[in-house]
């Protein structure tokens, strides 16, 4: 039976591993020369698609903003919740004046609902509105009575830091590669399947001897990554990420 190229489900590989796989496959292509293999036109398409995938992955690697935004959102949530819990604690104060001030401020907070569970942009706007309302004449004196001004100052600082990170993200997004990671991977996989099919067809027509060493090296690479998937190192649930 003639040897053919082993097939692999490349969707099961994480982005980093997918690129590593193709780096190894491409090295085999280069070693045996696409022109000599009679796959030059298909190889050029594959290489262009793979270059786009590398560019998309580099963009993902360099971007730390997603993590920073998530951390900053958690930070402002923590400050907001601490502020509200402090107000709720004051409702049980021994001084009736504190109790009444706390109850009034708590009603203001309730008007905004659970701010920390809103979407990122809605939460930013809600915090801005809350800060403005609590800085109004009637509420400002209540905040000062309960000694909560520092909480509000810190909440404003954290919210402003979050806004800046979002502005940074918008600027970064405008510079992102034209092709998205998931699209790049899909195109690379499609080109690779076409090359594999052509090599198998050429080997069938011309005889395995002309392609035997080439196919064996390809299969050695493919087997390695199939084993990674089988051992669970290729995340079964992960889909290509943008």
Query: Both tokens of residue 59?
Result: 């963009």
Which residue has tokens 């109850």? 103
pTM value is 0.54
- Band of pLDDT at residue 175, cut at 50, 70 and 90: low
**Is pLDDT of 207 > 80?**
no
Lowest mean pLDDT, pick from 2-16, 174-188, 196-210: 174-188
Can you read off the two tokens belonging to residue 205? 């027509």
Residue from 128, 134, 119 nearest 157 by CA: 128
> Cα separation of 241 and 4, whole Å?
31
**6 and 226 in contact (C-beta within 8 Å)?**
yes
């Amino acid at each position: 039976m003639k040897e053919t190229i082993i097939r692999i489900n490349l969707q099961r590989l994480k982005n980093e591993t997918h690129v590593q796989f193709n780096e190894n496959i491409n090295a085999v292509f280069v070693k045996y020369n696409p022109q000599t293999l009679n796959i030059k036109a298909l190889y050029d398409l594959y290489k262009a698609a793979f270059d786009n995938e590398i560019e998309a992955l580099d963009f993902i690697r360099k971007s730390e903003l997603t993590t920073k935004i998530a951390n900053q959102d958690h930070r402002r949530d923590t400050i907001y919740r601490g502020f509200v819990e402090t107000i709720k604690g004051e409702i049980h104060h021994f001084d009736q004046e504190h109790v009444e001030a706390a109850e009034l401020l708590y009603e203001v907070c309730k008007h905004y609902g659970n701010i920390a569970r809103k979407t990122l942009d809605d939460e930013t706007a809600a915090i801005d509105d809350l800060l403005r309302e609590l800085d109004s004449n009637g509420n400002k004196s209540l905040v000062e009575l309960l000694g909560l001004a520092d909480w509000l100052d810190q909440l404003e600082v954290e919210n402003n830091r979050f806004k800046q990170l979002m502005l940074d993200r918008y600027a970064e997004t405008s510079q992102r590669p034209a092709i998205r990671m998931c699209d790049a991977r899909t195109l690379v996989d499609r080109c690779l399947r076409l090359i594999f099919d052509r090599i198998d067809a050429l080997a069938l027509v011309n005889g395995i001897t002309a392609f035997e060493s080439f196919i064996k090296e390809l299969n050695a690479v493919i087997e390695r990554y199939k084993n990674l998937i089988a051992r669970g190192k290729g995340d079964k649930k992960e889909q290509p990420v943008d």
